[in-house]
Structure 1
């Protein structure tokens, strides 16, 4: 089961990194119009929107500040530890 725990932990880590990239992209002045930059922009937004939208309903953006990623990261860490704990108990 050690390989399963490692794999699941890696999936959580990758998703966390994609959320962090999303946070960094929010400081970009505007999205690129075409090319690889636009593909990365679309991938990051489409990969994280479904998760962040849950928290945006709880904490709507305050002007230009969106605090939902903070709550999303905290919940992701809690879920990660619970899932890895459950996998470790088998």
Structure 2
């Protein structure tokens, strides 16, 4: 069980880092999103971000949807770890 939890937690951490890179690169207008490294990053992160972009449209040219995306990833990671800890502590009583 702990290997699965560690794997999921690591995946969510890596995905969070990819989102941060994607957001930071969006501040640079000269990034060619069709070149191989950037297109892969865009293909990995944009579908997830688009979910939140449909909920929170940009206000004044600023996209606030990544905040909601980060919150959900954080809650997922914390929930997975909390469930794993609860599962291991419940076995300790038997």
Q: What band does the TM-score fall into relative to the shorter chain?
A: 0.7 to 0.9
Structure 2: gaps of 5 or more residues: 89-94
Residues 22 and 44, structure 1, Cα contact 8 Å, conserved in 2: yes
Q: Calculate the TM-score normalised by the size of structure 1.
A: 0.84
Counterpart Cα distance in 2 of 1:2 and 1:18: 24
Aligned pairs (5 A) from 1:1-90: 1-32=1-32, 38-88=35-85, 89=87
Report which structure shows greater RCO (CA 8 Å, sep ≥6): 1
Structure 1: gaps of 5 or more residues: none
The structure with the largest alpha-carbon Rg is 2
Please state how far the C-alpha of 1:16 moved relative to its aligned partner: 0.2
Q: Calculate the TM-score normalised by the size of structure 2.
A: 0.81
